[in-house]
Amino acid sequence: MKSAARLPSATANDVRLLCCGAEYFSALITAIQAATDEIHLETYIFADDVMGQKIAQTLIDAASRGVSVHVVYDGFGSSSWIGGMDQQLRAGGVQVAVYRPERGWQLLRRSRLRRMHRKITVIDGSIAFVGGINVIDDLNMSEPRSPRFDFAVSLRGPLVALIEEATDKLWRRLHRLRLSDALDAALPDDTPTITAPVADARSAWFAVRDNISHRRDIEQEYLIAIGEAKTEVMLANAYFVPGRRFRRALIDAAERGVKIRLLLQGRQEYWLQHFATRAVYGTLLAAGVEIHDYERSFLHAKVAVVDSRWATVGSSNIDPFSLLLAREANVFVDDTAFASELKQQLEAAIAADSRPVLPAHWENRSWWNRTLTWVAYGVARAMLGVMGYGRH
């Protein structure tokens, strides 16, 4: 399987890992406060809560000093969270576009679930943030003492230009054509995947997923890395319902002696996704894959490390929504220091905040749990079939 085309660059990138909202929002606010020219921010959820208000005010302050500020939020993801934030941003001089606003007559359309799920901010063409963290307080929808577990990266260097190009293209199409609720067919993202070396001649690259020219780019990067893995694959994912090819890649790697560790959502956030995920547990456990349920708070991460060198941080889950329907964005890094830092974070979460799923216990679970698992999986598969994605 070949990767997407990559164009080389001679300049190093600085890629830094940001863990959870505490690190991410601090770095984001600092960068926005230093902006002098232009800001592009894309998010699936923009919440009218404590952190959302803080980010909104920082963006408004930037607009007041002459910075061109563009915000794109998803109409479905933000519908129950945005509150009066939309008007507040617009009144403060921020330019706002809504990706596919929710409208009653569209609720039954097959294209309704083609959402803008990526989380990207680019500032002055010099720094970019990419990851899985929405503009929402870490403690919103979670235990008061336990923030959601999630990651993002900040980047400086030539890769920022590619990320800025992706955000600028989406903004111009939404703004110029007034197609914030249009089909993705009218909004292709023809940005190529580009590699640029980071420090010490290591490389990082950026990949998007859309419904036209980059339908499988992110999944393909995962499959290549897993297929080439020699010692270990660590993967943390909030919503994990992999298709046949992804499951086969993990099983094949385990069969050739690669240690596979999955850190998955232990708390029930959405019952359908929660129990549908568990439909694949038995097959993977039987193949020797380790599964750990994260229980301290809600797991929202979408990250992986392979052989302590290859790593990815982004917005894409390993489920049909992310891999078949939504606009997503991931950064991939080939760097032992970066991969080791992410691996340490995941190992600490496995050791302190998770519960291992033991094959014997899994086989002895209650008939009620088994029933819910297969009903949820069946419903999920049926929904995909209705939408024309039944062979995934």
Is residue 200 flagged as an active site residue? Answer: no
* Marked catalytic residue, from 40, 70, 74, 117: 117
The reply to whether 302 belongs to the active site is yes
Question: Is 2 among the residues known to form the active site?
Answer: no
Read off φ and ψ for residue 127, nearest 5 degrees: -140, 140
Residue 293 is a catalytic residue: no
> Which residue among the candidates 14, 48, 49, 124 is catalytic per the annotation?
124
> CA geometry: angle at 111 spanning 107 and 112, to 5°?
35
Active site residue 54: no
* 3-state SS record for 111-160: HHHCCECCEEEEECCCEEEEECCCECCCCCCCCCCCCCECEEEEEECCHH
Rounded distance between C-alpha atoms, residue 301 and residue 37, angstroms: 31
Structure tokens at 113: 């679930």
Q: Which of 40, 119, 274, 343 is catalytic?
A: 119
Q: Which of 105, 118, 110 is nearest to 77 (CA)?
A: 118
Q: Residues 300, 335, 343, 353: which is the catalytic one?
A: 300
184 is catalytic: no
The partner residues of 303 in beta bridges, in order of sequence, read: 236, 313
Given the residues 138, 302, 319, 334, select the one marked as catalytic: 302
Q: Report the catalytic residues.
A: 117, 119, 124, 300, 302, 307
